[in-house]
Structure 1
Amino acid sequence: MSTHHGILLHVVFSTKFRKPCLGDAWRDDLFAYIGGIVKEHKSTLLKAGGIEDHVHLLLRIHPEFAISKTVQLLKANSSKWINEQRKLTGKFEWQRGYGAFSVSQSMVDAVKKYLANQREHHQKHTFETEYLGFLAKHAIEYDPQYVFELEIVR
Structure 2
Amino acid sequence: MPQSLASLLVHLVFSTKGREPLLSDELRDDLHGYIGGIVGHHSGPLLAAGSVTDHIHLFISHPRTIAPSDLVKEIKMSSSKWIKARDKRLASFHWQHGYGMFSISPAHREALEKYIANQAEHHRTTTFQEEYRKLLSHYGMEWDERYVWD
1:139 aligns with 2:140: yes
**TM superposition outliers: structure 1 runs of 4+ over 6 Å:** none
- What percentage of aligned pairs have identical amino acids? 46
Give the TM-score of the pair, scaled to structure 2: 0.96
Structure 1: segments with no counterpart, 5+ residues? 150-154
Structure 1 match to 2:35: 34
Give 1:1-154 correspondences, 5 Å limit.
Answer: 1=1, 2-86=3-87, 88-149=89-150
Give the TM-score of the pair, scaled to structure 1: 0.93
CA distances 1:2-27 after superposition (whole Å, capped 9, x unpaired): 32211000000000100001000121
CA distances 1:48-70 after superposition (whole Å, capped 9, x unpaired): 00100000000001122110000
**How many pairs are equivalent?**
149
Which structure carries more helix by proportion? Answer: 2
RMSD over equivalenced CA pairs, Å: 1.0
Distance in structure 1 (CA, Å) of the matches to 2:97 and 2:6? 29
Task: Give the direction of change, closer, same or farther, for the CA distance of 1:89–1:139 in structure 2 (3 Å limit).
Answer: closer
